[in-house]
Amino acid sequence: MPQVTFTDSSGAETVIAANVGDSVMETAVRNGITGIVAECGGSLSCATCHVFVREDQLASLAPMEEMEDEMLWGTSVDRQDNSRLSCQLRIDEGSDLHVTLPETQV
């Protein structure tokens, strides 16, 4: 089963079994990961689902669309080269994603 490992800003890790087709944001919200706010529910208009993806996994993700790239300039904690919006990251069969949460989303 695919899984997502969330590391909070204090370094604590939570591993969640994920459903194929869900987004990383949906996986977080359904499982009570508090570091993801997701105010807009995944409609790409809030940037409160910001995560930092483990560097060696970036290339395996679907490329960022222009709108996500623009929204990432509005995150509460400054974007980094490995920033993504978790509502745009889909889980597939082989997913074993590792993401770190910023200190705050708002």
Instruction: Please provide the DSSP assignment of 32-49 as one string.
Output: T-TT---TTSSSSSS--S
List phi, psi (to 5°) of 16.
Answer: -120, 130
Number of residues that bind ligand FES (CB under 6 A): 14
Q: Which residues are CB-neighbours of 96 under 8 A, at least 6 positions away? A: 2, 3, 5
Distance of CA 40 to the CA centre of its chain: 14
User: Closest separation between CB of residue 34 and ligand FES, Å?
Assistant: 15
Give the contact letters, 82-101, x = binds to ligand FES (CB under 6 A), - = no: ---x-x--------------
23-82: which residues touch ligand FES (CB under 6 A)?
25, 38-40, 42, 44-49, 71
Q: Which residues bind ligand FES (CB under 6 A)?
A: 25, 38-40, 42, 44-49, 71, 85, 87
